[in-house]
Structure 1
Amino acid sequence: MPISSSLSARLGPGPAPARARWSPYARPSEPRRSGAGSGCAKASRPPLRLEPATARLLGPARRAESRGSSRGAAFGTAAPTPARRRLGDLKKSDRKTDPKPAGTNPEPIQEPRVEESRGCGGFAFLCALAGHKEAITGISMPMGSDKLYSGSADGSVRVWDGNSGKCVDVIKMGGKIGCMITHDKWVFVGISKSVEAWNIQTGMKLSLQGPSGLVCSMTIKDEMLFAGMADGRIMAWKFPAKEINSELVAILAGHDRHVISLAVSATRLYSGSLDKTIRVWDLKNLQCVQTLSEHKAAVTSVLCWDQKLLSCSLDKTVKVWAASESGSLQLMHTHSEEHGLRTLFGMHRPGKTPVLLCSLHKSSRVRLLDLPSFEEMGTLSSKTEVKTIELSQGGPSRLLFTGDGAGELKVWMWAPQGEESPTPALP
């Protein structure tokens, strides 16, 4: 999607690389090739000791029959819903307050409310899904699936049915989950010393070995999976592999602390680290070509947007970077907040300017900012600091998911002012 003329005027001309779309998975990382043949990531079968019910869930997506269980409520309704009702396909009359004692699962579904300001529209709150005991570190809703997956530092992946909103299975990973992403039909879960992956369509399960510590961030580009580690390294695997063993292509060294955010553009990989730097890596040779050191505290999130790179930090700033004529990134704009920032996420509004969602550190708020003006549109609230944000990858509604440090998963629906129905999700 071409960048808007107003943003070009504000931030200056960008480079002329291949066009790139706003990607919620864009997170900077910096590689330094180390031993192209240094090891092989073995895919054990099965690496995840799944219960029979979970194995069935990893088959082709299908509608789940309503069992009348009180565990969980449909996304967007307080009452049991027909099996064919999709996420967000609920009339306002279907949503009502259903008070229940504290500690039940899920939490009472309140009348949807729209978090907005200045008449710019906002998000309607649909429901909160409870069950995780610690911070949610990843959310995944694969394309074509009616299942929502959430990973937590409590060591579990919960599987939620998209028709009823119920938690239909809990997968124990044997340790803290550092991150989770989706690519096509695959769900990737980063844990200590491995990346676990399963295909929701075929049921194939892989275990990518090689990490020496916790996997903190992941992204995938051109059949290459990159994983940022707690020891500062970035590992790269060829994925998916033609055989059961997936090849470890390279280890990118350079950061000296956790790599907690990765992003990719057409030709570059970006990595954000607790060492206060962003490293820029050439995807062709996996070499570090630039180190950005303008942030004064830990870099917590990086995001690629068209020909720009956005980064945020605990130094209370969001920075916008653009390529110079020489191809190196230069700082174009700095936006300041009253809090440090934890997570960046971007989405388009059809026919309008994009929205940047910024999770505030040590705060229960997610700030919605209009781009390129950085004017506040509103806020989303949570129990504690929001650790991860994700957008549904398909379906008739644009659903947003937020996971906080207390283990609460909230479901929101984009409800722009003046529109009669939700806009379609991004492809």
Structure 2
Amino acid sequence: MNNQKNNNTKMKWGFIGAVYAFMIVMMGTTLPTPLYPIYSDTFQLSPLMITIIYAVYALGVIGGLLVFGQLSDRIGRRYVLIPGIILSVISAVVFLLASNVGLLLLGRVISGLSAGLFTSTATATIVNLAPDNKKNQASTIASSVNMLGLGFGPLLCGVLAQYLPYALHLVFIVDIVLLVPAFIGIWLMPEPIQNKQSFHIKVQKLSVPRKIRGTFIYAVIPVFVGFSMLGLFTAISPNFLGEILNIQNKAIIGVTVFLVFCASTVGQLLFKQKSDYNVLILGSATLIVGVILVGISLPLSSYALLLIGAIVSGFGQAFSFRAGLSTVNSVAPSDKQAEITSAFFTIAYVAISIPVVGVGLLQLGLSVQGAGIVFSIIVVVLAIISLLLLLTNHNKSNQNKAK
């Protein structure tokens, strides 16, 4: 009886430690967002170079997911999460010492790798360690923590950079301090994977078992659209606020980005009683409305409309993300959970990267408003296609059941 109680206590604290570590590592990946205008002035960076900085981060994430995403299924969760935290610390140190654009690029690549190691593995870990009374909510908790961490990064950085000295340094010192208990929490947590295999690294193919492939595809398409929206907003908001609206306050930039991720976090807690399919439908429809508002706000130079559209889009992204991840986790075999989750997040991070790179390239010939409008139209079209595919798939399923 006492052994069972001690085991439950260890699992509980392990769960808390994994949640905290996931949030702090993901926070570290978005910390520099309000600082890009300062970096741009300090290092004379062009919009194209800012785009490249975003792009190398995405390459780091995708590389980490493809190379290490399935590794924790074989060697254990801890032995992937610990290197992820160490890489997050190294990234913060590189940014702390950054004196040229080369170090910014290096810091972003390392940050991307830390996110790549953490994203799918931490999600699987939280599901594994969740208390019995939270097993059903574990996927929602993991995805909410992911979004909350991404949102806290710009918020923390914006406030510290605006109101305290050493704008380019203090936030990374704070980040390193916050990562220390994250390291301790992961080090001490119970290891969910008991049947370990030999260590060897291989590049993961983006494959999903044939029997769940259809479910995976219809679940991941709305997620692709939702993360494209996040990429679009990340790409246009700092420059739009600074260049068009002349808002230079770093805290306002941080709060603006935070509110999108906050809406995503809150949105994942809504409509819990509805089926994943209905929530995916709602997510696509909400994204259509939100992104249209973001697109309209650009030619009108309206901060209020931009913010409303971003928050509505954040809810749409949340519905799609939560329901998509829950659907995939519900059908994924336990021995391939991290591998399939890794494929899921790889597609999501490809989606978040495309608008960032595309808007940066379009800005070479268009204004930030013009580039944002073009990609707003593209994302709306994708959301409409996603909605139509979901409705068509549901109709086909009903017809097959009737037969």
TM-score range, shorter chain: under 0.3
Q: TM-score, normalised by structure 1?
A: 0.23
Q: TM-score, normalised by structure 2?
A: 0.24
